[in-house]
Structures are given as C-alpha cells and as structure tokens.
Amino acid sequence: MATLASLVVVLVASANVFGASQSIFTVPKTFPKLQGCLTEPLTYSCENTTTIKDTCCSPTPGGLVLQTQFWSTYTGLERKGQLLPKGSWTIHGLWPDNCDGSFEQYCDLSRQFDPAPSPAILPDGTVVPAHKGPGVDTFVAEFKRLDLLDYMSKYWINQGAPNADFWGHEFSKHATCTSTFDVACYGPDYKKHQDVVDFFDAVIRAFKMYPTFDLLASAGIIPSNRTTYTLTQLQTALKAQTGSIPFLGCGFNGTVLQEVWYFHHVLGSVSPSTHMSLATCFNACCNRRNNLAISSLWTQPRIRRALLLLVSTITSAHIRRNVKSVFCPDVDRNAM
C-alpha cells in the first residue's frame, strides 16, 4: 500500500509536469495543508482504525462522500438562457454524509451564501438566515476562474431560479460540513472565498468521473418517451462501468428516472483520483415492478410551457414522498 508520503510525491510530480492545465492530475487546491497531512495515517474516510487527528486531511465526520446528479427536462428559465446541456446529466452536488448515512448541514453560518436556505430552521432550532449579498459566482470571478464558471454554467443547473443560487446553497449546506474545506485548514495565507472556489473545483472533478449519460448510453440506454427500462438494466449498466450500484431516484410514483447518487470513501481530501466507490446504503426509490422511463427533453417550447407547472407540482410532491420512505433509518433529506 502506498504511503501518504509517496502519494504526495506523485501528485506534486504530476503538478510539475502538467503545470496549470486543467488535468485532474494536478494537485487540487483543496489540499491547502498537504504537508501537514504527511504525518496522518493513510486511510480511506470512514475506514480509519485510529482517530483522525487532523480533519483537514480527511473529511470527518462526513467521510461518506456522495457525488449527486440530476436528469431533468427543463430549467424553468429557458427564456433567460438557462439551458440544460445536451447529452449530459447535470450536477447536484458533493455531499459529506456521516459514515452511517446520516448527515450534517449548514455547519458554518459565517459562510452562509444560500439565498433560500432549505431547511431554514435546523433540527436544533437554529435559524439559517437567507443570504442577501452578491452571488457565489462573483467569488469565482474574483479569482479569475472564468473556466470554472463556464463549466458550472453549463453543467450545474438550477430549476426555477438562477444557477448561482443553487451553487451557494450547495456550498453552504454541504461544503461547510466537509471538514477539508474548513477555513482553518488554509492557515494564514487564506484568501477570502478560496474555500468556495476549491469546493466547486472538487465538485467538477468528481462529476467528471461519472458521465452518467454516456455510461447508460454505452449499454444502449438512452432517454426516450417510448422505451422504458427495468431497474436491473440501469443498475447493471452503471455497476459494470463504476464498480458499484449507485442510488437511483425516480419521480412520478417511482417510474421516471431523475437522480443518481454515487457513493465513496475517499483517501485524503475529497479527490477523485483517490476514491473507493461504494454501493449505496439506500435502496433505489425507482419502482422494481414497472419499467422505468427516462424522459427525453421536451423539444417543443409550447408543450413544455404548458406542462411545466403541472410537472413541477407532481414531481416535487412525489420525490419527497418516495425519498423519505427509502432512506436509512432516522435519516430525512430534503430534495436538495
């Protein structure tokens, strides 16, 4: 087994080779205290045999890391140019679940950038105030990461509100509970909002590992209004390509595929090159008996607009009902 010291050497060497390119082999900026992690035992998150002392080196307690994606057919803001990408699922987020599948949320209200907190009141009664300041997209722009902003605008798509609202939501609800993004991990050189940019980079890296549309298409599974697929067909295709069966979420009484969650334990910080994919601890909420539809994008704007209100009402009600019933005991997760 590689020691962390040799792993670091490899990563650093790769960084020198690839320089500032966007290769996933560059040292992620999410390793602000890489040197400080040399003395930590090399272990997958949730699999440590001794206490993890430096929580900047491994997500703790949120070591069950989920890369979550959506399949949608509309954004609701098409007329403002907020479109879905062609031939790709979209990003939901990168979530730090506890090792037992429960999870924390909004862990640092000094980094609350969510304009519409959900939930607005935490289980312990803490109120999460709505963010009124500039969107997180302006933070990314301040770091001159227009490449990152471009990618996010293409693949990290909100429904019914601007994309940046969703990005701020995902950061404040989830990344503030991912210990490796703690401000304290950056030490005295911390630049304001660096953690936000680093989290977004990590989300993109993880998303790129799972081109769900292509993974399914390579097994002949493509969105269609007519052809349906069995849950087993979907699970088999994804397991063949990723090594594990992810969580599959459906709407419309468990008949229309809408979500996928890929589970991992991670080595070191939240990095895709060093992960172990895991089967979900949740059952798919897609119906096992019926065949499943993967709706194709509605191409006719007039039909789309007429159906929009109806569809959004039905799906939100049913996603919540279905999802609740399949989570691990004592776990309840809002749709986002």
Ligand X SMILES: *[C@@H]1O[C@H](CO)[C@@H](O)[C@H](O)[C@H]1NC(C)=O
Kindly tell me which residue out of 1, 19, 35, 50 binds ligand X, with binding defined by CB under 6 A. 50
Site size toward ligand X (CB under 6 A) is 15
Residue ranges in 203-232 that form contacts with ligand X under rule CB under 6 A: 225
Q: Does the active-site annotation cover 174?
A: yes
By three-state DSSP, how is residue 68 classified?
Answer: strand
Q: How far apart are CA 317 and CA 100, in angstroms?
A: 27
| Cβ-contact 168, 152 below 8 angstroms | no
If binding is defined by CB under 6 A, does position 300 make contact with ligand X?
yes
Min separation Cβ 258 and ligand X, Å = 14
**Residue 290 within binding range of ligand X, rule CB under 6 A:** no
Q: Which is nearer to ligand X, 16 or 300 (CB)?
A: 300
Residue 251 phi, psi (nearest 5): -110, -170
Q: What is the DSSP letter of 44?
A: B
Pull the structure tokens for residue 52.
């993890």
Q: Name the segment binding ligand X (CB under 6 A); options: 2-10, 28-36, 43-51, 180-188.
A: 43-51
Smallest gap, in angstroms, from Cβ of residue 62 to ligand X? 11
Q: Rounded to an integer, what distance in angstroms lies between the CA atom of residue 113 and that of residue 203?
A: 17
CB 141 within 8 A of CB 150: no
> Among 174, 264, 265, 275, which one carries the catalytic annotation?
174
Strand partners, 248: 260
CB of 200 to ligand X, least distance (A): 26
Structure tokens at 152: 């996010």
Asked if 60 touches ligand X (CB under 6 A), the answer is yes
By the rule CB under 6 A, 49 interacts with ligand X: yes
Which one of the spans 23-31, 103-111, 201-209, 293-301 is the region binding ligand X (CB under 6 A)? 293-301
Distance of CA 115 to the CA centre of its chain: 19
Count of alpha carbons within 13 angstroms of residue 117, beta-carbon side: 22
Rule CB under 6 A: is residue 44 a binding residue for ligand X? Answer: no
Which residue's CB is nearer to ligand X, number 109 or number 314? Answer: 314
What residues are paired with 97 via a beta bridge?
Answer: 64, 103
Q: Check if the beta carbon of residue 76 is closer than 8 Å to that of residue 312.
A: yes
Active-site pick, 40, 131, 169, 170: 170
Q: How many whole angstroms separate alpha carbon 121 and alpha carbon 129?
A: 9
Q: Which one from 40, 92, 169, 318 is the annotated catalytic residue? A: 92
Least distance in angstroms from the C-beta of 221 to ligand X = 15
Task: Please report how close the Cβ of residue 88 comes to ligand X at its closest, in angstroms.
Answer: 17
For residue 259, indicate whether it is catalytic.
no
Q: Which residues pair with residue 90 across a beta bridge?
A: 70
Minimum distance from CB of 129 to ligand X (Å)? Answer: 30
Range 253-272, binding ligand X (CB under 6 A): 253
**Which is closer to ligand X, CB of 49 or CB of 110?**
49
Q: Report which residue type is found at 264.
A: H
Angle between helices 146-155 and 163-174 (to 10 degrees): 100
- Cis preceding linkage at 61, omega within 30: yes
For the annotated catalytic residues, the residue numbers are 92, 170, 174
Residues contributing to the site for ligand X (CB under 6 A): 48-52, 60, 225, 252-253, 296, 298-300, 303, 314
